[in-house]
Structures are given as structure tokens and as C-alpha cells.
Structure 1
């Protein structure tokens, strides 16, 4: 048996194939990790911005502000939010001169992939009724987001 031929036509091409497959796999893993990291960053920003938009309004602009916030929502949550603001929040804010200001001191990614993410959002909200002093509350919300048309939209908003 001619070992130089076995080496030239069998072993070397086999090793080259194995190395090429390993490089392809490592590239796939690297791209997946980068996609998840990008999703995590984008989703936490969208959750923070969206939470502030959903929970902040002034009594004189409540209808415009909360209806604009609907553009940040998708699915069944968008429908239930629309019902809530139209039936309860907007009429109450106008009638009782209620204003609310939400801030987000902290957010944390629970999970993220390129199409769906879950973010824990810590919220501080100051509510003013009429000319009374503000009432401050702190809470946390589990925000689920889905990427729709290149934008992260809120699909669920669950207090925890």
C-alpha cells in the first residue's frame, strides 16, 4: 500500500472537510450569539420606551398620547389596551383631571432571540389628580415583545 497516496487522497481531504465544517459551525454559533445580543439591547430599549408611553399622560392630551402609544403594541394586548384606555382611562383622566408620569429606573432582559424577547421593567409612576399632591408608586412589569416589520412591539404587559 502506498501511504503517500492514502495521505494525499484520503486523510488530508478528510481533515480539510472536518475543519471546514467546524469553521462553519463556529460561525453559525457566533452569529446566533450576536443576533441574541442585538435583540436583547433593542428589546430592552423598546420595553423601556414603550412602558413610559403606555403609562404617561396629561389630562389635556390624554387621548392623543395614549392613542399614539397604541402604535407600540401588537396582537391581543393591543386590542385590550385600546378597550381599557377608551372605556376607563381617557374618560377618567378628562373628568377628574388626572395626569401620570412614568419613569423606568431599571430594565433587565429575561430572554431574547431575534424575533421575541421578554424584559423585566421596574417602573416609578407619579399620578396627580386635579391639584392634589402627586401619589408615587413603584412596580415591576414583565413585558413580552415581538419583532414585527423590523420594530419591537409589546405583545404582553403583565404586572409582577
Structure 2
């Protein structure tokens, strides 16, 4: 019985490590997708980014992008480019994970000078139909 428990524990730990690595990569890629756009393709880019989200966060992101970001990007010719220099797993199980993501974002309005912003985001992900999707995106 003891050997069975140790085997179960080992498998669970390995599954959590795999989930942690997968979810951190998805958090990195999705953060870049959520925060990067050009005025010419903002509709397409942010609609594609929505496919990386789930639950209430998807609803609030959709509302924000439709009502504020997309019209503003087109009207003011805003370009945003996000990069993720570092990210780390906070916790992970086979269907739920939290990652800490460090973000650098450069925003340019029209022909103005670019502005840089560095921030940290706590990204919560849930595995839905075999895919890691962001369910919360909270600045730290």
C-alpha cells in the first residue's frame, strides 16, 4: 500500500510540473497576444486573442476591447507591442494554474514618441477542453 501511495504521489508531482511548464508558456504567449496590436489589424488581433480566454475575464476583455481599445487604436493610430522577459509558475495542478508574468509594453500614439511601461501580472489559467485558457489577469 505504501508503494502505491508513493507511486501516486510521484505521478501527481510529475503531472503538476508538466502543467506548470505548459501553463507558464501559455501565459507568456497569451499575455503578448492580449496586449499587442496595430491600428490596421487591431480587430483581427484582439478577436484572436479572445480565443485564449475563458469565463468572466473573456466577457470583460471583450467589452473593453470592443468599447475602448479597438476604436481608440483606430482613431488615434495606437500601436502596442508587449514582450515577456520573464515568467514563473506560482502553482499548478492538472487543470488549474497561476503564473507570474513580467511584461514590457511599448505604446506609440500616431507619430508620437513611444512610451514604455513595465508591469507584473498574476495570470490564472484553467484547462478547458484540453487547452490552457486565461480566467483572470490581475496586475500586481
Normalising TM by the smaller chain, what interval? over 0.9
The structure 1 segments of at least 4 consecutive aligned residues displaced by more than 3 Å after TM superposition are none
| 1:28 corresponds to | 8
Higher strand share: 2
What's the CA shift string for 1:45-79, capped at 9, x where partnerless?
Answer: 00000000000000100000000000000000000
Offset at 1:133?
1.6
The higher relative CO (CA closer than 8 Å, separation ≥ 6) is in 2
Match of 2:100 among 120, 128, 148: 120
Alpha-carbon distance in 2 for matches of 1:58, 1:91: 12
What number of residue pairs does the alignment pair up? 140
Root mean square deviation, CA, Å: 0.5
Match of 1:75 among 48, 55, 66: 55
Higher helix share: 1
TM value normalised by structure 2: 0.99
SS of structure 2 residue aligned to 1:57: coil
Give 5+ residue unaligned stretches, structure 2.
none
Give 5+ residue unaligned stretches, structure 1.
1-20
Alignment of 1:133-144 (within 5 A): 133-144=113-124
Alpha-carbon distance in 2 for matches of 1:26, 1:142: 32
TM value normalised by structure 1: 0.87
**2:44 matches 1:64:** yes
